[in-house]
């Protein structure tokens, strides 16, 4: 009798172990399958943002009043940081130029350079276009970040960007705000998508030149630009 009970207990124990192993195996396989499916159906990038680093190559743009730093170099540094931020946020980031040169090979031709930028913009089907530049003014005391645009479709985006940059950059450091400026700008007219030009600093002012030459400051400014753009796209203005 004792042997029979002991045998039954042993058989039950073995059955429990086998069942437990089967359950564990099923759970592990299920997790692996779920991860594989999650990877297979990962979401596509939200939308495309084209970032244009103004000037480049034989066209340096304006230069710093203190150090002679080239606008084209600063534009590229800002554009690449901004592109990384958009990519990290899930957007597809496209640059009109990735290197210190212009957008074209061979002898520099300004009109062809601009046409190439327009071609990149249009072929990318962007949700937004942001062109990065540095400013210059005859009054060396002028400082700050200002937004320019060309089309009616870009007005709301320009106003949202300027309001955010006033709140986070201009007012805290300068005690003043800028208004957007509308004009005829080739790049800002290259797409039906909202398109703006951001003049990130006045290189004619030594303080602005020093700030925009600092990588930490450029990152801070790029973060605020990305925030404002994302808020605009989400329909939740600041």
Reply yes or no on whether the pLDDT at 33 is more than 60: no
Kindly tell me if the per-residue pLDDT of 58 is higher than 70. Answer: yes
**pLDDT greater at residue 109 or residue 164:** 164
- Kindly indicate the confidence band of residue 30, based on its pLDDT and cuts at 50, 70 and 90: low
Dihedral of the CA atoms 139, 145, 148, 152 (nearest 10)? -140
Region 9-31: what's the mean pLDDT? 48
Given a cut of 80, whether residue 31 has pLDDT beyond it is no
Beta strands 195-202 and 128-135, pairing class:
parallel
| 111-159 per-position pLDDT tens digit | 999 999 999 999 999 999 999 999 999 999 999 999 999 999 999 999 9
CA 200 – CA 48 distance, rounded (Å): 22
Mean pLDDT, rounded, for 214-224: 98
pLDDT band at 3 (very low <50, low <70, confident <90, very high): very low
Q: Range with the lowest mean pLDDT among 100-114, 128-142, 203-217? A: 100-114
Edge-first strand listing for the sheet containing 181-182 = 92-95, 48-53, 128-135, 195-202, 146-149, 181-182
- If phi > 0 it is left, if psi is from -120 to 50 it is alpha, else beta; for residue 57 that is left
Average pLDDT, integer, range 69-89: 98
Q: What is the pLDDT of residue 7?
A: 45
């Amino acid at each position: 009798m004792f042997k029979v009970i002991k045998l039954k207990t042993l058989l039950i124990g073995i059955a429990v172990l086998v069942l437990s192993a089967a359950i564990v195996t099923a759970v592990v396989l299920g997790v692996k399958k779920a991860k594989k499916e999650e990877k297979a159906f990962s979401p596509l990038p939200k939308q495309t943002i084209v970032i244009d680093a103004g000037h480049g190559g034989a066209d340096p743009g304006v230069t710093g009043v203190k150090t002679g730093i080239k606008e084209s170099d600063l534009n590229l540094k800002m554009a690449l940081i901004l592109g990384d931020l958009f990519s990290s946020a899930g957007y597809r980031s496209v640059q009109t130029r990735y290197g210190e040169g212009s957008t074209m090979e061979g002898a520099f031709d300004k009109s062809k350079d601009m046409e190439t930028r327009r071609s990149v913009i249009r072929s990318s089907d962007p949700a937004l276009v942001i062109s990065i530049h540095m400013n210059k003014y005859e009054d060396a005391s002028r400082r700050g970040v200002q937004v320019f645009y060309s089309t009616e479709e870009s007005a709301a985006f320009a106003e949202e960007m300027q309001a955010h940059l006033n709140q986070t950059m201009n007012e805290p450091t300068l005690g003043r705000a800028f208004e957007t400026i509308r004009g005829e700008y080739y790049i800002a007219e290259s797409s039906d998508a909202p398109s703006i030009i951001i003049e990130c600093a006045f290189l004619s002012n030594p303080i602005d030149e020093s700030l925009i030459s600092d990588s930490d400051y450029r990152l801070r400014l790029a973060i605020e630009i990305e925030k404002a753009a994302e808020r605009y796209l989400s329909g939740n203005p600041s």
